[in-house]
């Protein structure tokens, strides 16, 4: 897929999200099998909860949902599951929101850039290697060593713009 042509897809507000969730879980199962790690029930459930929608989910939102289903779900359980999913690239952390969002392309190693809608919270992932390369080059030219280069861009998604044109 060429970075020139790949437009970020913003999920429609009323799309069939079950299909997104099924696809994400199927990919996660394949990746875990490939790397010989276990997608335990709790890891799988936390991934499903991150994938409740295209809006980043906070750890405490996930914990609240989990507590309704199972007694004794504790923060470390959720954090461990999130770390596992982050480690496999199945989810990303959105620092500005202190929340997590499902990765749309976990098979391909990438450093993502995110477009975040301030109205509905929908987040779309850009995986544009040109942006990443530009940051790498400019940082290197400045003698700067980069630890984290996740770009988070806020604005209004096409569906919210259509609903409330300004
Ligand atoms: Zn969806
Ligand atoms: Zn990703
Ligand atoms: Zn929106």
Digit-coded pLDDT (tens) for 19-55: 999 999 999 999 999 999 999 999 999 999 999 999 9
CA 9 to centroid of chain Cα atoms:
13
Q: Please check whether residue 148 is in contact with residue 113, taking contact to mean a CB–CB distance below 8 angstroms.
A: no
Digit-coded pLDDT (tens) for 136-154: 999 999 999 998 888 999 9
Residue 100: is it exposed, middle or buried by C-beta count within 10 angstroms (0-12/13-18/19+)?
buried
Indicate if 118 and 59 belong to the same structural domain: no
Residues with CB under 5 A from ligand 3 (ion): 117, 119-120, 122, 157, 160
* Residue 21 is assigned to a structural domain of this protein: yes
CA of 52 to the centre of ligand 1 (A): 8
Nearest ligand, CA of residue 121?
3
Indicate if 70 and 128 belong to the same structural domain: no
Phi, psi for residue 92 in degrees, rounded to 5: -125, 155
- List the CATH number of the domain containing 58: 1.10.10.10
CA of 13 to the centre of ligand 2 (A): 21
Indicate if 138 and 86 belong to the same structural domain: no
Indicate if 87 and 135 belong to the same structural domain: no
- List the CATH number of the domain containing 159: 3.30.1490.190
- Which runs of E-coded beta strand occur in the chain? 91-94, 99-102, 113-117, 123-126, 151-155
Tell me how far apart the alpha carbons of residues 22 and 42 are, in angstroms, rounded to a whole number.
16
Nearest ligand, CA of residue 53?
1
Indicate if 32 and 96 belong to the same structural domain: yes
Domain region containing 163? 110-166
pTM of the model: 0.89
Indicate if 80 and 148 belong to the same structural domain: no
* DSSP-derived secondary structure letter, 16: -
């Amino acid at each position: 897929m060429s970075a020139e042509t790949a437009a970020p897809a913003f999920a429609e507000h009323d799309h069939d999200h079950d299909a997104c969730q099924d696809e994400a879980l199927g990919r996660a199962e394949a990746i875990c099998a490939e790397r010989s790690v276990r997608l335990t029930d709790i890891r799988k459930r936390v991934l499903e909860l991150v994938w409740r929608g295209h809006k980043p989910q906070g750890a405490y939102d996930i914990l609240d949902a989990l507590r309704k289903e199972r007694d004794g779900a504790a923060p470390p359980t959720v954090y461990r599951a999130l770390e596992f999913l982050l480690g496999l690239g199945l989810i990303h952390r959105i620092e500005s929101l202190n929340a997590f969002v499902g990765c749309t392309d976990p098979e391909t190693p990438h450093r993502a850039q995110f477009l975040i809608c301030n109205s509905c919270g929908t987040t779309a992932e850009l995986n544009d290697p040109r942006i990443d390369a530009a940051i790498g080059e400019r940082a290197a030219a400045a003698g700067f060593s980069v630890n984290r280069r996740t770009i988070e861009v806020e604005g209004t998604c096409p569906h919210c713009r259509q609903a409330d044109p300004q």
